[in-house]
Each structure stands twice: as structure tokens, then as C-alpha cells.
């Protein structure tokens, strides 16, 4: 836990004189003798109040430090809090009694206790109550610090979880895509060797992109678009006349970024979650809107049963972008079309 405010040197030096001055005015008010203020400000009584404030604060601070070391986190229990209040009351009363008794008997030279009994009782009562307030102030700071540390730990756990999810997302190699590609490759090998070689080169580009960027947090939009084109060409071999991809020209600011493999992963999910045939082709369009989003648009024609892995990948995609931006990933459907919008990121958002 961070150093308590009561332990700060500046607080220990500046607060007791101010508090002692307040106690001096309070005692004058109780004695109905405020006229003394016009006589002099720096009096022995004022110095006494300041010294008593120092003695009270330092003794209670030392007591609290020892008490906290002994009970540790058990200080939060009601019994320990009650014991701390009771101990603070006794210590502050004892110290103030000894100091005031010494002042009146040795410095003022009062030989008889009855001569300063009333003043002694007033000072002990006032500073004992102030000791309780001091302890209450400490406890308020202590519990506020505990609450803040709890919130910080909770946020740190969330950050670590998001980082873990991001790492999983970036390191994800879709086995389903590999198996589909191998099936397509097997069919190509039997009738077109050149096309099979091109397909292998394209497949290697797709997986090389995944592996090369698995440790990166963000990549350029242009790189994501090129990786998406390479992946689309793999699907084009399987659906030569049934799918198409149109990418609008990028005319926005340079330097925009995306989470690695987010756009190719979306293309993979769309293709594998949509019914594709010669009667129902899949036409995909990628564009950019004025709100800072990359938009993937396609005809809504979902399969009767969606793969659980696709749902999980969509969830991981949302969590990956939450780590970098306040803008969410948006998925909407309207007039027979489905839209998936990815927020375009900047480095300053990461900071």
C-alpha cells in the first residue's frame, strides 16, 4: 500500500500548528475570553496548544503504525477498529494530561492542583476528542486506499485477461481453413498442376501472414486488405463463380491500423457461415465510412446451424478491439444485408 498521507513529512510539519491555533481559539471561546486575541497572538497558551497538537499527532501516528504492523489486513475488522479508537483515546488523554500537568506545575509554577484542574480537564477532553478525529481521518484514508487498490487490481486483471484474449486471437490458426484448402488442393492436383502450385503459394502467403504478425498488436490497414485478398483467392478456387470481393479505394488518413488477422478472419467466418450456390452467390464489399470504420457488407443468407467456433471467433474479435479502442465492433443486419464494422485504430489510442 502507498504511504499514508499522515506519514508525509509536509503534513506532519504544517498541520499541527494550524490545528493547535484552532484549539487555542476554541479554548478561548469556551472560556469566554476572546478579547485576549486583540492583546497578543503569540502567547504561551498558543505555543502550548501547538505543542500539544504535535504531541497528539505524533504519538497517535506512532501508535497507528505499530497497530497496523501488528494486525495487518485484520484492521478491517470491527473489533480491531474499536480497539484502535479506544487505544488512541487512552494514549492521547495520557500524553495530554502529562504534558499539561508538567506545564502548569513546572513552567507556570502552580503548586496546587486545584488551581489548574479545570484547564487540565478541558485540554485533556478537547485533545482526546481530537485524537479520535485523527484516528477517524486515518481510517478514512486507509479504507479509501484499500478500495482504490482493489479497483486497480480488478482493472489490472481485466487488462491481463484482454491481453491474453488478444494473444489467443493473434496466434489463432484456423484448422478448418487448412483442411478446406487441402481438399481444394487435392482436386487441383489431379487436373491442373500450375493452378495447384499457385494455390500452394497463395496458401503459404495466408499462413505466413498469420505467423509473421502473431506477436504484433496492430498492423496497417493495407496489410490486412492484402491478406484478405490472398485468402479470398483460396475460396475462389472452391467457389469460382459463386463469390466475389469488391474493395473500395482507401482515401482516408494514412497510418490507420487494425488488429492483425481481424479482416481475413471475418472473411473466413462470413464464407463458412453463409449458404453459397449458383442461385445464391455471395458478394462481399469492403468500404470505409466517415465515422472511422471499415465496413464489410454481404447478403444475409446464414446457414441453418452456425459453427460454435465461428461464434467464439466473433467474441474474440470484439474483445481484441476493446483493448485498443472505445469504439466497439458493430454487427447489424438491414434489408437483407449484413454489416460488420471494424473501428480503424491509431497509435495514440493505444497510448
Q: For position 41, what pLDDT does the model report?
A: 45
What's the mean per-residue pLDDT of the chain?
A: 78
Rounded distance between C-alpha atoms, residue 274 and residue 272, angstroms: 6
Q: What is the C-alpha to C-alpha distance for residues 109 and 51, in angstroms, rounded to an integer?
A: 19
Q: What is the DSSP string of 101-147?
A: HHIIIIIS----HHHHHHHHHHHHHHHHHHHHHHHHHHHHHHHHHHH
Other C-beta atoms closer than 10 Å to the C-beta of 103 total: 21
Q: Is the pLDDT of residue 349 over 50?
A: no
Is 172:316 a contact under the CB 8 Å cutoff?
yes
Place of cell 446457414: 303
Q: In what order do the strands lie in the sheet with 243-247?
A: 243-247, 282-288, 293-299, 337-343, 330-334
- Say if residue 21's pLDDT is above 50: yes
Residues sharing a CB contact under 8 Å with residue 6, sequence separation 6 or more, in sequence order: 12, 57, 61, 64, 134, 137, 138, 141
Residue 79, class by beta-carbon neighbours within 10 Å (0-12 exposed, 13-18 middle, 19+ buried)? exposed
The answer to whether 318 touches 170, Cβ cutoff 8 Å, is no
pLDDT, position 298: 93
pLDDT value at 32 more than 70: no
Structure pTM?
A: 0.52
CB 101 within 8 A of CB 48: no
Percent over 70 (pLDDT), the chain: 82
Per the model's pLDDT, the better-predicted residue between 55 and 224 turns out to be: 224
Q: What is the pLDDT of residues 60-69, one digit of tens each?
A: 888 877 877 7
In this prediction, residues 270-287 reach a mean pLDDT of 89
Going by pLDDT thresholds of 50, 70 and 90, the confidence category of residue 103 is confident
Residue 239: which residues within 8 A CB-CB, separation 6 or more? 271, 276, 282
How far from 215 is each of 148, 161, 221, 291, CA to CA, in Å?
33, 16, 17, 29
**pLDDT tens figures, 261-277:** 889 888 988 988 888 88
Nearest to 57 by CA among 26, 29, 22, 101: 22
Distance CA 261, CA 316 (A): 12
Task: Return all residues near 97 (Cβ < 8 A) that are at least 6 apart.
Answer: 120, 124
Q: Would you list the DSSP string of 277-321?
A: -SSS-EEEEEEE-TTSEEEEEEE--B-SS--HHHHHHHHHHHHHH
**Rounded Cα gap, residues 134 and 6, in angstroms:** 9
Average pLDDT score over residue span 240-263: 85
Element (H, E) at 281: none
Which residue did the predictor score with more confidence, 206 or 45?
206
Residue 226: its pLDDT value, please? 92
Q: What pLDDT is recorded for position 340?
A: 93
pLDDT of residue 342: 93
- Whether residue 323 is predicted with pLDDT greater than 80 in this model: the reply is no
The predicted pLDDT at position 229 comes to 92
234 neighbors 198 (Cβ within 8 angstroms): no
In DSSP terms, 152 is beta-bridged to: none
How many other C-beta atoms can be found within 10 angstroms of the C-beta atom of residue 140? 10
* 166 has pLDDT over 60: no
Q: Coil, strand or helix: which one is 51? A: helix
Residue 254 has pLDDT above 90, yes or no: no
Banded pLDDT at 38 (limits 50, 70, 90): very low
Q: Is the alpha carbon torsion for 209, 210, 212, 215 positive or negative?
A: positive
Is 42 a residue whose pLDDT tops 80? Answer: no
User: How far is it, in rounded angstroms, from Cα 20 to Cα 274?
Assistant: 79
Amino acid at each position: 500500500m502507498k504511504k499514508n498521507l499522515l506519514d508525509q513529512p509536509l503534513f506532519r510539519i504544517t498541520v499541527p500548528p494550524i490545528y493547535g491555533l484552532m484549539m487555542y481559539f476554541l479554548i478561548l471561546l469556551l472560556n469566554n475570553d476572546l478579547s485576549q486575541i486583540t492583546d497578543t497572538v503569540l502567547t504561551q497558551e498558543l505555543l502550548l496548544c501547538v505543542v500539544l497538537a504535535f504531541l497528539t499527532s505524533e504519538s497517535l501516528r506512532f501508535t497507528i503504525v505499530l497497530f497496523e504492523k501488528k494486525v495487518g489486513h485484520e484492521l478491517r475488522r470491527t473489533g480491531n477498529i474499536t480497539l484502535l479508537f479506544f487505544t488512541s483515546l487512552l494514549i492521547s488523554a495520557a500524553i495530554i494530561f502529562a504534558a499539561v500537568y508538567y506545564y502548569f506545575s513546572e513552567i507556570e509554577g502552580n503548586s496546587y492542583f486545584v488551581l489548574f484542574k479545570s484547564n487540565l480537564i478541558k485540554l485533556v477532553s478537547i485533545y482526546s476528542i481530537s485524537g479520535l478525529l485523527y484516528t477517524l481521518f486515518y481510517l478514512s484514508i486507509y479504507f479509501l486506499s484499500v478500495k482504490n487498490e482493489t479497483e486497480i487490481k480488478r482493472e489490472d486483471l481485466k487488462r491481463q485477461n484482454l491481453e491474453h484474449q488478444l494473444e489467443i486471437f493473434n496466434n489463432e490458426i484456423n484448422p478448418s481453413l487448412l483442411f478446406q484448402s487441402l481438399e481444394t488442393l487435392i482436386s487441383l492436383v489431379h487436373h491442373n498442376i500450375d493452378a495447384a502450385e499457385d494455390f500452394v503459394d497463395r496458401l503459404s502467403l495466408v499462413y505466413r501472414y498469420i505467423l509473421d504478425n502473431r506477436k504484433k498488436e496492430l498492423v496497417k490497414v493495407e496489410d490486412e486488405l492484402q491478406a484478405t485478398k490472398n485468402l479470398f483467392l483460396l475460396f475462389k478456387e472452391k467457389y469460382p463463380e459463386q463469390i466475389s470481393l469488391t474493395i473500395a479505394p482507401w482515401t482516408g488518413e494514412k497510418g490507420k491500423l487494425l488488429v492483425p488477422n481481424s479482416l481475413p478472419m471475418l472473411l473466413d467466418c462470413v464464407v463458412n457461415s453463409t449458404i453459397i450456390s449458383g442461385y445464391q452467390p455471395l458478394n462481399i464489399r469492403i468500404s470505409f465510412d466517415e465515422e472511422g470504420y471499415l465496413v464489410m457488407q454481404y447478403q444475409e443468407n446464414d446457414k441453418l446451424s452456425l459453427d460454435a467456433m465461428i461464434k467464439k471467433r466473433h467474441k474474440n474479435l470484439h474483445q481484441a478491439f476493446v483493448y485498443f479502442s472505445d469504439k466497439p465492433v458493430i454487427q447489424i443486419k438491414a434489408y437483407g444485408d449484413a454489416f460488420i464494422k471494424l473501428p480503424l485504430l491509431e497509435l495514440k489510442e493505444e497510448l
